[in-house]
Structure 1
Amino acid sequence: MALSASPLSAESYPDVVSTSNYVAVRDGTRLAMSVYRPAVSGQAVNKPLPVIFVFTPYRGRFKGPDGKINETALGDNLGLRSLLRAGYVVAVADVRGKGASFGHRRGFQDRTEALDGRDLVEWLAEQPFSDGSVGMVGCSYLGGSAFQVATTAPPSLKAAFIGASDLDKYAFVRNGGITAQFNTRPDEEPEVDLATVPMDEDSDGSMLKAAVAEHASNTPMGPLWYGMPYRDSSSTLTGTKFWEEVGPYNYLDTVKRAGIATYFWGNWRDEPTSQIILSAANLSSRLLAGPGGHCQPPQGFDLPGEIVHFFDHYLKGEDPEYDKLPRATYWVEGLNGTGGYVTSAELPGVRSRPLPWFLSRGGFGWQTAGAAGVSTFTVDYDLPPAEYFAFWPQPMVDHGLGFTSAPLQSDIEFVGYPVAQLTVSSDNPKADVFVYLDRVKTDGTSEVISFGRLKLSHHKLSLAPYETLGLPWHSGFAKDVDAPAPGADVSLSIAMTPVSLVVPAGDSLRFVVAGADPRQRNLADIKLNPAPRITVRWGGRDGSRVDLPLSN
């Protein structure tokens, strides 16, 4: 039976009717809005209902290559179809500069877009089909949209269910000072937006064509991120310190004062989950961490039911006992031999204790550091191409240094963030360091279970402006960048992606250090020539280790 906090709302509406139209926001830009209303026998319910709003760059309605029309609101990956059945109006709008909306994007999830969302929330609250209460739901960009709109505190926004998004965009997109896979893909051709289904008022499609023509002025996403090496860099494309503009952590007090309820969701095999847990920590929110990858509905869990239950409480005032439910639900891979969900009053890893595992000449293990020594490698830029959307890395042991443990004598459960504490040097202070924690199975196959990255020049630790659960934080401010001298030892503290698994007896753990990752889309442009040589110090007083989060 699928795990679920609650059955669906007692109301049940089998049908849906939809309309679409343009809505002008504060500067007159017309944004494409599609509204879906619960219906019975083809007739929309004739009473005001709460509204769930989705704000997307991926087109709320579009025609696929097979000619089939795809509609975001009619799918259930985000519980939208279930919400319609449970008596909610669902509204989906294309962001400025995408889909059928007019205007152009100044920047990825910028304040212009956030304020657009605020305007649309208030427009929805004022419509005859609305009871005045609005919630938002989304995952990935759509989750970020919900978070960004919440930071503007629309009076009618009561709750947001946010998946796979970030708290600190610099620490996410340019983690450790290094821009990797996320948000750097090429921008889409106009034909993509031209496949959007026109609004009802656009009978001949001329308005869609006019809107898409305006998209030609969109700020390109990849160059935007690549052009700002430091947290306080000013973008030549936006004229602002854009990382700070789009960092939700700067607006946490606004969300708190507004009383907007938040629920954060991520999956363990998805890089944004690092940020999702920190978001939940900073907003005292509920958390769901499931198995699987990017925005995949968690296996064995009734995600639509969880979403409906959340909004039933905060938008309909149902289930007064809701706030007494456990705060966190998370999957532990390998629990009881297979895997299972755990519920807790605390976020995963909060009670875990760091278990030091040391790098050594003989490998990797919890024994004392042993005799001192070093291992050196030359950065390998000749890497196999990653998948286009490689949200999770493949083992890198053939492209760097590997330190492997002996087979485990008993099962070990890890929940939380591994932290790599390394002493390294390089003949090139511009070198990057990538680290990976692998599980090596008894049959010899392996998989990455955690990873992280840091530029040597970003090694300095700083005090974070938000709760980090004790993890090391690197500011990325230009003043804190300190390139070491060639050959000089430097200490690196690297927070790796969180884990939640039981490693069974017989398996081994492997720690890998590399200097490049195939998920860097611009690898050909940033490779150093000659390739840097990186030395890792192990053993003795200054040797390297990894603090693994041992679950109590």
Structure 2
Amino acid sequence: MARQPKVTDYRDQVENIEIAWIPMADGRKLAARLLLPRDMAARPVPAILEYIPYRRRDGTRVRDDETHYWFAAHGYGVARVDIAGSGDSDGLIQDEYHKREQDDALEIIAWLAAQPWCTGSVGMIGISWGGFNGLQVAARRPPALKAVISIASTVDRYADDVHFMGGCLLNDTLDWGCYFVSCGSRPPDPEIVGWDRWKEMWKYRIDNLDCFPMLWMEHQRRDAFWKHGSVCENYADIQVPVLNVSGWVDGYTAAVFRCVENLPGTKGIAGPWGHKYPHVGIPGPAIGFLQECNRWWDRWLKGKKTGVENDPPLRLWLQDSEPPQPHFDARKGRWIGLPQWPSKNIKTTTFHLGAGTLAVKKGRAKPMSVLSMQSTGLTSGEWCAYGLGKIAPELAIDQREDDAQSLCFDTAPLSKPLAIVGRSHVRLRIAADRPQ
């Protein structure tokens, strides 16, 4: 693992422009923070964009400093832009990944490419929201966008996000939805937007903000609402190189495999981490992710020969089996590289449900019933662990008590080690004895 760089390593090499206003065609202005190499006037550089709704001046400030100073010190201009209706930007947050958000991104990219300090080449990076919209904006094909690094994202907003999964409404719809409302209702900074405007801007947000969980629950099927922003609807829309990254205890691992399979030229990394940047990934081991990013940017934004094309399409952390515990500082295992996905070295095995068993041989199906306590399942851990460590343990623990209150299906003891890579699928036929 490469040493984690400190912001103080690079402050003397980087100019911090705390507020830059990016004009939109309709008269709105979006607020940006720019970190630029001090010699950019003599040597124009490519631009890197992170575009999210979490207030750049405080919401993601520490995280931004950890990554953006590094990029700026290594020859890139970095723009951290507040989405319309967040931070100090004009407008209103209308929903996740709204078409207006994408339209604004096209204007932002064109603005960055036209700056005198920019070579005209732009990349997008982000984790979670910023990983989502990096793929979505790439599908819109802005001419100046040359590459994307997408961390902890999805290609399928309906079936692989916090709202519905496996046909079931997730608790995260309410959890995340309420937090998202708070993001859209936070005030701008009077010192930035002006003491004469900030209250008016804040009141406009509060008065007009939608109740997002209700909006999402109105769409319980895969309709046009969810197809918008789901790049799996047409992978071919994306024509730029994508580095897709996630962790095994993150909720968004599937996109790594789907992008490698469906987007030519994509490289994927799946590590042991939760919902964090891999250079600070928990559980560890973390990796020198900023160095990996630089190889990607140098190749696709500067045209340097860094060898990224020769990297295995998929690099993943193959975890060893360990007794469950609520937190791991690091997982045991090893890195492997796969020359393609799906891999020729992987065999799909189907197990059939029996009376408490999982068997390769199909038996005669019999109806089974279960009546569990509402608390059943609490030991299974968080759907998306954030790598909070010992502060808030998130991982699955011993689940035998839950097993006893459930229909549980086990294989016979394994005769030899079995490595599981990729996604598992289960097909169930379920009926309830009470109406919804």
TM-score bracket, normalised by the shorter chain, equals: 0.7 to 0.9
Residues of 2 paired with 1:224 and 1:380: CA distance? 30
Give, as a single letter, the amino acid of the residue that structure 1 aligns with 2:217: Y
Residues of 2 paired with 1:364 and 1:280: CA distance? 31
| Partners of 1:13 and 1:39 within 8 A in 2 | no
Name the SS for the 1:420 alignment partner.
Answer: coil
Work out which structure has the larger RCO, using CA pairs closer than 8 Å and 6 or more positions apart in sequence. Answer: 1
Equivalent position of 1:55 in the other structure: 51
Q: Would you say 1:308 and 2:298 are equivalent positions?
A: no
Give, as a single letter, the amino acid of the residue that structure 2 aligns with 1:53: L
Equivalent position of 2:274 in the other structure: 293
| Partners of 1:125 and 1:131 within 8 A in 2 | yes
Name the SS for the 1:355 alignment partner.
Answer: coil
Residues of 2 paired with 1:317 and 1:13: CA distance? 26
Residues of 1 paired with 2:34 and 2:109: CA distance? 12
> Cα distance, 1:82 vs. partner?
2.1
- 1:170 corresponds to which of 148, 151, 158: 158
Which deviations, in whole Å up to 9, do the C-alpha atoms of 1:38-88 show, x marking residues without a partner?
A: 237xxx6642111100001111112x7xxxx93553123xxx332112111
> Cα distance, 1:301 vs. partner?
1.9
> Cα distance, 1:279 vs. partner?
2.6
Residues of 2 paired with 1:276 and 1:338: CA distance? 21
| Partners of 2:181 and 2:211 within 8 A in 1 | no
Residues of 1 paired with 2:434 and 2:245: CA distance? 38
Q: Would you say 1:262 and 2:242 are equivalent positions?
A: yes
- 1:253 corresponds to which of 227, 232, 236: 236
Equivalent position of 2:426 in the other structure: 420
| Partners of 1:170 and 1:231 within 8 A in 2 | yes
Gaps of 5+ in 2: 4-9, 323-330, 386-394
> Cα distance, 1:303 vs. partner?
0.9
Q: 1:372 to 1:227 in 2, by over 3 A?
A: closer
Which deviations, in whole Å up to 9, do the C-alpha atoms of 1:382-413 show, x marking residues without a partner?
A: 45779997515745525421123344332111
Give, as a single letter, the amino acid of the residue that structure 1 aligns with 2:23: A
Q: Would you say 1:134 and 2:125 are equivalent positions?
A: no
Equivalent position of 2:169 in the other structure: 179
Give, as a single letter, the amino acid of the residue that structure 2 aligns with 1:61: R
Deviates more, 1:177-186 or 1:390-399: 390-399
| Partners of 2:135 and 2:238 within 8 A in 1 | no
Name the SS for the 2:22 alignment partner.
Answer: strand
Equivalent position of 1:510 in the other structure: none
Equivalent position of 1:355 in the other structure: 349
Name the SS for the 2:426 alignment partner.
Answer: strand
Q: How many correspondences in the alignment?
A: 398
Which deviations, in whole Å up to 9, do the C-alpha atoms of 1:489-512 show, x marking residues without a partner?
A: xxxxxxxxxxxxxxxxxxxxxxxx
Q: 1:46 to 1:210 in 2, by over 3 A?
A: farther
Equivalent position of 2:218 in the other structure: 227
Q: 1:194 to 1:71 in 2, by over 3 A?
A: farther
- 2:256 corresponds to which of 276, 296, 302: 276
- 1:343 corresponds to which of 334, 337, 340: 337
> Cα distance, 1:268 vs. partner?
1.3
Which deviations, in whole Å up to 9, do the C-alpha atoms of 1:520-546 show, x marking residues without a partner?
A: xxxxxxxx4xxxxxxxxxxxxxxxxxx
Name the SS for the 2:268 alignment partner.
Answer: strand
Equivalent position of 1:211 in the other structure: 201
Residues of 1 paired with 2:382 and 2:23: CA distance? 34
Residues of 2 paired with 1:197 and 1:289: CA distance? 42
Q: What is the aligned-residue identity percentage?
A: 24
Deviates more, 1:410-419 or 1:302-311: 410-419
- 1:409 corresponds to which of 401, 407, 415: 415
Residues of 2 paired with 1:122 and 1:325: CA distance? 31
Q: Would you say 1:147 and 2:130 are equivalent positions?
A: no
Gaps of 5+ in 1: 4-11, 233-240, 431-527, 529-552
Name the SS for the 1:341 alignment partner.
Answer: strand
Q: Would you say 1:242 and 2:228 are equivalent positions?
A: no
Give, as a single letter, the amino acid of the residue that structure 1 aligns with 2:374: Y
Equivalent position of 2:99 in the other structure: 111
> Cα distance, 1:345 vs. partner?
1.6
Equivalent position of 2:374 in the other structure: 381
Give, as a single letter, the amino acid of the residue that structure 2 aligns with 1:36: L
Which deviations, in whole Å up to 9, do the C-alpha atoms of 1:113-148 show, x marking residues without a partner?
A: 011111001101111111111000001011112122
Name the SS for the 2:158 alignment partner.
Answer: helix
| Partners of 2:260 and 2:314 within 8 A in 1 | no
Give, as a single letter, the amino acid of the residue that structure 1 aligns with 2:34: V
Q: 1:88 to 1:206 in 2, by over 3 A?
A: farther
Give, as a single letter, the amino acid of the residue that structure 1 aligns with 2:14: V
Q: Would you say 1:74 and 2:65 are equivalent positions?
A: yes
Q: 1:183 to 1:207 in 2, by over 3 A?
A: farther
Structure of larger gyration radius: 1
Residues of 2 paired with 1:198 and 1:253: CA distance? 44
Residues of 2 paired with 1:191 and 1:112: CA distance? 15
| Partners of 1:60 and 1:71 within 8 A in 2 | no
Alignment of 1:316-327 (within 5 A): 316-319=302-305, 321-327=307-313
Give, as a single letter, the amino acid of the residue that structure 2 aligns with 1:360: G
Q: 1:133 to 1:335 in 2, by over 3 A?
A: farther
Name the SS for the 1:402 alignment partner.
Answer: coil
Which deviations, in whole Å up to 9, do the C-alpha atoms of 1:155-184 show, x marking residues without a partner?
A: 111011011111121122323332214454
| Partners of 2:298 and 2:306 within 8 A in 1 | no
> Cα distance, 1:251 vs. partner?
5.0
- Higher share in strand: 1
Residues of 1 paired with 2:410 and 2:220: CA distance? 34
- 2:384 corresponds to which of 380, 386, 391: 391
| Partners of 2:250 and 2:383 within 8 A in 1 | no
Equivalent position of 2:36 in the other structure: 37
Name the SS for the 1:61 alignment partner.
Answer: coil
Give, as a single letter, the amino acid of the residue that structure 1 aligns with 2:422: G
Give, as a single letter, the amino acid of the residue that structure 1 aligns with 2:352: F
- What TM-score does the superposition give when structure 2 sets the normalisation length? 0.81
- What TM-score does the superposition give when structure 1 sets the normalisation length? 0.65
> Cα distance, 1:290 vs. partner?
0.7
Residues of 1 paired with 2:202 and 2:434: CA distance? 45
Give, as a single letter, the amino acid of the residue that structure 2 aligns with 1:318: K
Give, as a single letter, the amino acid of the residue that structure 2 aligns with 1:410: K
> Cα distance, 1:207 vs. partner?
4.1
Q: Would you say 1:330 and 2:316 are equivalent positions?
A: yes
> Cα distance, 1:270 vs. partner?
1.8
Q: 1:397 to 1:280 in 2, by over 3 A?
A: same
Alignment of 1:89-128 (within 5 A): 89-128=77-116
> Cα distance, 1:361 vs. partner?
2.9
Equivalent position of 1:538 in the other structure: none
